[in-house]
Amino acid sequence: MVKINREYLDPALLALNKHNNALVEKYKAQQHAVHLASQAVADRQQSKLISSRNLSRGWMISIVLVGFGVMIALIAWSLPKLVVQLRSPVATIQPILSSSELNKEPSPAAVSASSSDIVTSAPPPALIVPTYAREQGSTTCIQSESFESPCTDSVVLENGSTYNGTWSNGAANGEGEITFLDNGSVRGTWQDGALIEILDVSTPAASPTITSSVTLFTTKTVPDLSSKFKTVSVGHNFNSPSDTTWEDAYCYTLVMERGDKVMINLSRIDNFNEKISLLDYDNNMKISRNEYERAQGMCPYKYTNF
C-alpha cells in the first residue's frame, strides 16, 4: 500500500481549497458585477423607452434583447478565464504526489499482457484480390477493358493461387473463384477486391470433410538454423467437425528459453472472411523485432484441404 506523508499533503490541500474558494467568490463577484452592469443597461434603455413614447413596440423589444445579449456576452467572456484559474492550482500539489513510490513502472508481465491485444493493420490474406491501375496502351481486360465495362479474366496471386472472375475498374467486382495450389477453391462474390459473400467451397476428394479435430493446425518449418524459432504454426478453429470453413484462426511460434518452450503469438484472423491482424512486438519477448516480423510473414494460414 502506498503511504503518503500527510504532513506536507494536508497543508497543500488546505491551501488549494482556500484558493478554490477565493476563485469561486471572485467568480460570484464578477457575475454580480456583470448582472448589475446588464441590469443598468436594461434600466437605462427602458427609461429611454418610457421617455420616448413615439417608439414602436418592436423597437422596445429589440432594445431589451440587446441588454440581455450584452449580459450573455460578458458572462461568456469571463467564464473561460475562470476555468483556467480553477485548473492552475492543481500544479501546486504535483511535486508532493510525484514521489518514487507513486511513480512505479508497471511490471513486464502487465506490459506484455496489454500490448499483445493491440491489433494493427495487416497485409491481405489469400482471399483478397489486388487492385490494378489503368495502363495506357494496354489491351488486357484488367488494366484496360475493365475501366470501360465489366470483363472476365484470371490472375495469379502472390501466394500462388489463381483468381478467375469478373473485373471492373481494375478490381475484382462480381462473381469469381480462387483456386489454391492444393486444388481446393472458394467461389463467391467480390467487391473492390474483397470477398463479401461465399457461394461455394470445394476441397480435394482426399479430404472432403474435417475428421481429426475441432481445432486443426498447420506448421511451417524455418530453414534458417541460426533463428531462435524453428517452426511457425497456425491453429484453425471450427465450430463443428462437419464444417468446411473455420470460424477463426491464430498464428504463433515457440522459442526455447532455459529448456522451456515459450509461446509467442504473432497474428490472428477473427473471421474466415476477414484480413489478418498482426499483433504488436513487445520488448520483453524472447526474440528480436526483426525475427518477430519475419515469423509474422511465415504464418501458414490455410483455407481448404484439412
Q: What's residue 36's pLDDT? A: 76
Q: What's residue 212's pLDDT? A: 54
Would you say residue 106 has pLDDT above 50? no
Q: What's residue 118's pLDDT? A: 33
Q: Is 277 within 8 Å of 120 (Cβ atoms)?
A: yes
Would you say residue 166 has pLDDT above 90? yes
Averaged pLDDT for residues 224-252:
85
Would you say residue 153 has pLDDT above 90? yes
* Average pLDDT for the chain: 75
Q: What confidence tens digit (pLDDT) does each residue in 239-282 have?
A: 888 888 888 999 999 888 877 888 899 999 998 888 899 999 98
The reported pTM is 0.34
Q: What's residue 21's pLDDT? A: 77
Q: What's residue 248's pLDDT? A: 92
Best-predicted range by mean pLDDT (48-62, 209-223, 234-248): 234-248
Least confident of 59-68, 113-122, 139-148: 113-122
Q: What's residue 277's pLDDT? A: 92
Q: Is 91 within 8 Å of 59 (Cβ atoms)?
A: no
pLDDT top residue among 56 and 181: 181
C-alpha cell at 167: 473485373
Least confident of 35-44, 46-55, 267-276: 46-55
Averaged pLDDT for residues 112-135:
58
pLDDT top residue among 291 and 8: 291
Q: What's residue 54's pLDDT? A: 56
